Chains A and B, each alone.
Chain A
Amino acid sequence: MKRAVALEFRKMRRLRVVPIVLVLIVAVAALSSASLFSGSTRETFDDPTAAPWAALLLTYTFMAAMTSPILAAVLASRQTDIENTGSGWTLASTAGYTPGKLCRAKLAALAVILLPAVALQTLLVIGAGLLASITVPLNVAPWIGYTVGLLLVDIAFCALHIWLAAKVENQLISVGIGMLGAFIGVFALLMPDWLTRLIPWGYFAMISQVSTSGRDVVYATPAYGWIAGFLIIVGIAFTLATRRLDRIER
């Protein structure tokens, strides 16, 4: 497995995965913190009751829900489509890497990329907040909680899209579903809770550590049980699906 993951990184070099991820996380972080520099927001920076950090986290949650599903779909599709185009599945099989194993290696490799990427994205948003001189002390716990949640949900969606990209050669299906999912992901922040739980992309909203009550933004505890359940289901489904990929004829 280690060798298979190392191979995935070799394949990544010419795919420009790292530049794409870097540009996108910087853009998303910039967009999340753009409102910091407007006049009306600046007045709230030294007012603890206005909760400027929570408001920033909410904007960040919103932007991440809008872009992350597409990013996950694009990364997974790029990493998987190379096998479709160059009869890579067959080649890897002759070297002892079955399609299922290849998919799991791809997921592991993408997870390794996403870990620093998501962390950097959060740090950039916090950095922008400090740069804009928010004087209210920062409550670190919700930010860490959200970052970990976002990373895990991102990885879960990478798993889904790797499977889709491997199963359906037409990449429009995988990336198209990612885009429609992003639409649902943004909207999930406005949906009632019971509905959000039932929709996979709703988990980009479920991991939110802040919510709005009336006109105020307040910290809220996400339903960890549901999130854990979602991740476990995705894990089991991915394991079973990739095992099945080993047994189909191409």
Chain B
Amino acid sequence: MFTAELTKLKRSSLWIIALILPVLAITTGTINYQNNTGALDGGWASFTSQVVLFYGLLFFSIGIGLLAATVWRVEHRGTNWNLLLTTTRHPLLLVAAKVAAITLPIIFMQLTLVIGTFLSGTFLLNLDGPFPWQFAVIGLLTIIASLPLVAAQSLLSMLLKSFAAPVAICLIGSVIGVASVTSTALQPVGYVLPQAIITRTMNLGSTAISGSGGLTLGDALPIILTAVGLTAVITVLTVGAIRAIKLR
């Protein structure tokens, strides 16, 4: 079933998001670091913070919204939805296959981000000291932290026929997520809102956002557990929705 999902993604121009977005993050981060060497003198720590600043605040989440909408787009065309419902497989498998198909480009994005940051920092900026392994760990942690949003956007993209509608909802969630990370009043929202979980994970140990927590087991473990729990809940909801809601 997963292979079928990958076949559906052929020629879907997913690379526009999966490749260009992280490359843009690295490029802007590099230029910004170079232009502000006076204010940013923390070497690798400042540079990696610059790279993930906007990427982690908003654009990675919107990227996931777009990926999810693309993965579900084919099912909303013609009579594909009816065809999909005739499958003899358990709906849970379908939902899991969709989540996996969305996660694959995300893994690619994160690998591009980490490797690209390493290359840019080492060869373009000639930063001193070794590449911080923490950045790579956070890059991988973010893949797990993004699962709730993947599951949520997958559910929305399944329910809504329009391509742009789930992306708009994702944008609204991201804006609330930014608010929950930057203000103290909204902080509780940050623990359950998928977009905020991503932002918090990406900024573990960052120098750009104060009070973001360090990369310790005590800070990372609750985020990971929440992410896995939320993903399970949303997946069950999606399976229920496939069974209960008549979409046509």
Binding site for B on A (CB under 8 A): 15-16, 20, 23-24, 27-28, 30-31, 34-35, 37-38, 66-67, 70-71, 73-74, 77-78, 81, 85, 170-173, 175-177, 179-180, 182-184, 186-187, 190-191
Q: A20-B168, A23-B172, A171-B69 are in contact. List 19 more A-B contacts (CB 8 A).
A: A20-B165, A20-B172, A24-B171, A24-B172, A34-B179, A34-B182, A37-B183, A67-B171, A67-B175, A70-B167, A71-B171, A73-B164, A81-B163, A81-B164, A171-B163, A172-B14, A183-B25, A183-B59, A187-B28
Q: Which residues of A contact B126 (CB under 8 A)?
A: none
> A30 and B179: CB pair below 8 A?
yes
Q: Which residues of A contact B167 (CB under 8 A)?
A: 70, 74, 175
> A66 and B58: CB pair below 8 A?
yes
Q: Which residues of A contact B55 (CB under 8 A)?
A: 183
Which residues 2-45 of B sit at the A interface, judged by CB distance below 8 A? 12-14, 16-17, 20-21, 24-25, 28, 31-32, 35
Q: List 6 A-B contacts (CB under 8 A).
A: A27-B179, A67-B175, A173-B16, A180-B20, A180-B24, A187-B32
Interface of A is mostly: helix
B162 within 8 A of A: yes
- With contacts A34-B179, A187-B54, A190-B32 known, is A78 near B162, CB below 8 A? yes
> B12 and A170: CB pair below 8 A?
yes
> B163 and A77: CB pair below 8 A?
yes
B63 within 8 A of A: yes
Instruction: Please report the C-alpha to C-alpha distance between residue A191 and residue B32 in the assembled complex, in whole angstroms.
Output: 8
- With contacts A77-B163, A170-B12 known, is A176 near B17, CB below 8 A? yes
- With contacts A31-B179, A67-B175 known, is A172 near B168, CB below 8 A? no
Q: Which residues of B contact A179 (CB under 8 A)?
A: 17, 21, 59, 62-63, 66
Interface flags for B40-81 (1: CB within 8 Å of A; 0: not) read: 000000000000001100110011001001100100000000
Q: Which residues of A contact B25 (CB under 8 A)?
A: 183
With CB as the reference atom, state the residue of chain B lying closest to A84.
B163
Interface size on B, residues (CB 8 A): 38
Instruction: Please report the C-alpha to C-alpha distance between residue A37 and residue B183 in the assembled complex, in whole angstroms.
Output: 9
Instruction: Please report the C-alpha to C-alpha distance between residue A76 and residue B24 in the assembled complex, in whole angstroms.
Output: 24
Instruction: Please report the C-alpha to C-alpha distance between residue A73 and residue B65 in the assembled complex, in whole angstroms.
Output: 14
Contacts between the two chains (Cβ within 8 Å), count: 107
Q: Which residues of A contact B179 (CB under 8 A)?
A: 27, 30-31, 34
A-B pairs, top 6 by smallest CB distance, nearest first, are A171-B163, A77-B164, A27-B175, A74-B164, A176-B16, A74-B168
Instruction: Please report the C-alpha to C-alpha distance between residue A28 and residue B24 in the assembled complex, in whole angstroms.
Output: 23
Instruction: Please report the C-alpha to C-alpha distance between residue A179 and residue B24 in the assembled complex, in whole angstroms.
Output: 11
Q: How far is the CB of A37 from chain B (nearest CB, A)?
A: 8
Q: Which residues of B contact A34 (CB under 8 A)?
A: 179, 182-183
Instruction: Please report the C-alpha to C-alpha distance between residue A172 and residue B172 in the assembled complex, in whole angstroms.
Output: 18
Q: How far is the CB of A211 from chain B (nearest CB, A)?
A: 15
With CB as the reference atom, state the residue of chain B lying closest to A77.
B164
Interface of B is mostly: helix
- Residue picked from B35, B66, B164, most chain A C-beta under 10 Å: B164
> B175 and A24: CB pair below 8 A?
yes
- With contacts A27-B176, A183-B54, A187-B28 known, is A81 near B162, CB below 8 A? yes
Instruction: Please report the C-alpha to C-alpha distance between residue A220 and residue B63 in the assembled complex, in whole angstroms.
Output: 34
B178 within 8 A of A: yes
With CB as the reference atom, state the residue of chain B lying closest to A17.
B168
Q: Which residues of B contact A77 (CB under 8 A)?
A: 163-164
Q: How far is the CB of B34 from chain A (nearest CB, A)?
A: 11
Instruction: Please report the C-alpha to C-alpha distance between residue A20 and residue B175 in the assembled complex, in whole angstroms.
Output: 13
Q: Which residues of B contact A173 (CB under 8 A)?
A: 13, 16
- With contacts A183-B54, A190-B35 known, is A175 near B175, CB below 8 A? no
Instruction: Please report the C-alpha to C-alpha distance between residue A28 and residue B171 in the assembled complex, in whole angstroms.
Output: 11
- With contacts A74-B171, A182-B59, A183-B28 known, is A177 near B163, CB below 8 A? no
Instruction: Please report the C-alpha to C-alpha distance between residue A236 and residue B31 in the assembled complex, in whole angstroms.
Output: 33
Q: Which residues of B contact A28 (CB under 8 A)?
A: 175
Q: How far is the CB of B128 from chain A (nearest CB, A)?
A: 24
Q: Which residues of A contact B163 (CB under 8 A)?
A: 77, 81, 171-172, 175
With CB as the reference atom, state the residue of chain A lying closest to B63.
A179
Instruction: Please report the C-alpha to C-alpha distance between residue A201 and residue B162 in the assembled complex, in whole angstroms.
Output: 25
Q: Which residues of A contact B69 (CB under 8 A)?
A: 171-172, 175
Q: Which residues of B contact A70 (CB under 8 A)?
A: 62, 167, 171
